[in-house]
Amino acid sequence: QLLGLSIATLSTVTHYGLQFTLISNVSLDSNTYRVIHHTAFYFGICLSMTLILAALLSSAATVRESQCLTAMGFFCFALAFCGLIPAACWRYTHSTEVEDSMMDVYDFVYEEVRRNTSSFRRHELTAIHEAFLCCGKRSPFGDTANVENKMCPSGQVHDEGQDCLREIQDFLKKHMDFVFSLLGIAIGFTVYGMFLTSFLWFSMHFSSNLYRKGKYILR
């Protein structure tokens, strides 16, 4: 149950966190970040509910010695395991997709402001700078000083190395490392749960047969 609540909390923080929500609202429909953002939230909530249900069923099956509840608990653990393995594989095969999509959003907003084509983007860029505590980016064009002076929050100096692309990359790396660690713990827990529920089911089944052995009914 604690693991399920932890996953639910992490999913909620990821979905409603300031940095993630801001990037999701700014991103265009062609950008994949918004799809990843919503998919990760719903997957995390479903996974947490499955793990909590599996723990409750296993506890009830142990107390009541019910083979049916034990089988249902095993099914919930197996269902969670089948969801966790593809998620872990996706994390390995698409390790930079989330990071690239977030930085693409910032690049788009930054270039829109640099070209002075949208006053609304100026507000969005300022909000990103305040959320990530960064200031502009290093650009090969060499004409970004004016943008940074106007759009960066007070006290943030670009020369100190607070490049927004690097700050976004570092922030997301720490978050994804924590997510992957929690996924690994969840995979280990589901495997342990499947072994435990299987052992309980066979124990109940054979003990029930042994209890009836040698008993006869006279008619």
pLDDT of residue 213: 46
Residue 15: pLDDT above 50? Answer: yes
Mean pLDDT of 147-153: 64
Mean pLDDT of 175-192: 92
pLDDT of residue 182: 92
Q: Residues 77-104: pLDDT tens digits?
A: 999 999 999 998 988 888 788 889 999 9
* Exposed / middle / buried, residue 86 (Cβ in 10 Å: 0-12, 13-18, 19+): exposed
Query: Where are the chain's structural domains?
Result: 1-114+121-136+164-209
Report the 3 state secondary structure along 155-198: CCCHHHCCCHHHHHHHHHHHHHHHHHHHHHHHHHHHHHHHHHHH
pLDDT of residue 218: 42
pLDDT of residue 65: 79
Residue 145: pLDDT above 70? Answer: no
Of residues 181 and 151, more confidence is placed in: 181
Nearest to 54 by CA among 218, 46, 35, 102: 46
Query: CA 36, CA 46: separation in Å to the nearest integer?
Result: 15
Mean pLDDT of 143-172: 68
Of residues 168 and 64, more confidence is placed in: 168
Residue 214: pLDDT above 90? Answer: no
Residue 151: pLDDT above 70? Answer: no
Query: Of 14-28, 30-44, 130-144, 163-177, which range is least confident?
Result: 130-144
Task: Please state, for a pLDDT cut of 70, what percent of the chain lies above it.
Answer: 83
The secondary structure of 194-215 as a DSSP string is HHHHHHHHHHHHHHHHHHHTT-
Mean pLDDT of the residues in the chain:
83
pLDDT of residue 156: 54
pTM value is 0.80
